[in-house]
Amino acid sequence: MKKATFARKTSMENKLIRPPGDYRKLFCYQKSEAIYDITFHFVHTYLKRGDRTIDQMLQAARSTKQNIVEGYSRTGTSKETALKLVDVAKSSALELLSDYTDYLRARNLRQWEENSKELQAMRKVGRVHNDSAFYRELIQTRPPETIANISICLLKQNDYLIAKLLDSLSKAFLEEGGFRERMTNQRIKYRGR
């Protein structure tokens, strides 16, 4: 009877591979999905066919989203790998941010100023909405300058969210150690029984 009680109490401690949770509930994933959908619409609507920027922007948007998925999915085995992948997501998002600012600058279009009413309003919207369907509908009637600015705002908000995820993963790594460390500890515990 004591063995069964002990086994139940330490079942999570003894698991080498821990379930990571649902990445779709992460705000940074939700926002990345919305940014990907906005970017897909933007590049196919406002960039000329054959422009290499189309593939680059789509790849950066996709890389952001997919590296969050893969990184968060790896948290059960390797926090180190998860950190690296989520960091790649952050870098890809910043690359996309640069593409949107380049689009505006190269065409002499306005990027919303820090204290502009448009940016303040979009920040409020971005704090409330992460649903991709909301943004797909929102951009249907907007000109490319506005869509680029919406994307820039969302990318900056998502940069903050991804940084928070990296902080969380770093803390978990420090508290729990890496996969090899857990494997070694589990093997020592098993041999000690």
3-state secondary structure of 18: coil
**Number of structural domains, the chain?**
1
Residue 5 maps to a domain: no
Question: Has residue 41 been placed in a domain?
Answer: yes
- pLDDT of residue 9 exceeding 90, the answer is no
DSSP for 39-106, please give it.
Answer: HHHHHHHHS-TT-HHHHHHHHHHHHHHHHHHHHHHGGGT-HHHHHHHHHHHHHHHHHHHHHHHHHHHH
Residue 102 domain boundaries: 24-128+150-186
Return the higher-pLDDT residue of 162 and 73: 162
pLDDT digits (tens, 9 = 90+) for 10-67: 444 556 566 667 899 999 999 999 999 999 999 999 999 999 999 999 999 999 999 9
pLDDT in tens, 139-148: 999 999 999 9
In a domain, 4, yes or no: no
Check residue 155 and give its pLDDT: 98
57 lies in some domain: yes
Please, what is the average pLDDT of the chain?
88
Structural domain includes residue 58: yes
**Residue 7 domain-assigned?**
no
Is residue 193 included in any domain, yes or no?
no
